[in-house]
């Protein structure tokens, strides 16, 4: 699938960076491809943190914006957040 602006919401931030939540049915392997967030280039800054919620799997990953040329956005591969309950 493709980036959907309706899935991205800003949670917090200041002049040093922002924290975002992105909800999608896309897998992290799709999201961490350079260019996925190009349509949000005017909002995302380098080092911004994005919590990615894949509602299809379901999984949660954290990615950071590695680069943003103003038209091409690249994010990190992602760090999985464990969603297990051992009790």
* Residue percentage of the chain with pLDDT more than 70: 100
Closest CA to 47 of 22, 18, 20: 18
Length of the chain: 87
Environment class of 86 (CB within 10 Å of its CB; exposed 0-12, middle 13-18, buried 19+): exposed
Tokens describing residue 62? 């954290």
For the stretch 34-67, pLDDT in tens is 999 999 999 999 999 999 999 998 899 999 999 9
Q: Which CATH topology does 5-80 take?
A: Ribosomal Protein L25; Chain P (2.40.240)
- For the chain, which residues make up each domain, given as ranges? 5-80
| pLDDT at res. 36 | 98
| pLDDT at res. 83 | 84
| pLDDT at res. 4 | 97
Q: How confident is the model at residue 85 (pLDDT cuts 50, 70, 90)?
A: confident
């Amino acid at each position: 699938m493709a980036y959907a602006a309706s899935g991205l919401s800003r949670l917090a931030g200041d002049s040093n960076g922002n924290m975002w939540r992105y909800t999608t049915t896309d897998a992290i392997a799709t999201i961490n491809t350079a260019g996925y967030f190009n349509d949000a280039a005017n909002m995302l800054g380098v080092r911004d943190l994005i919590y990615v919620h894949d509602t299809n799997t379901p999984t949660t990953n954290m990615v950071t914006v590695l680069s943003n040329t103003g038209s091409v956005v690249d994010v990190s591969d992602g760090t999985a957040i464990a969603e297990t309950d051992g009790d």
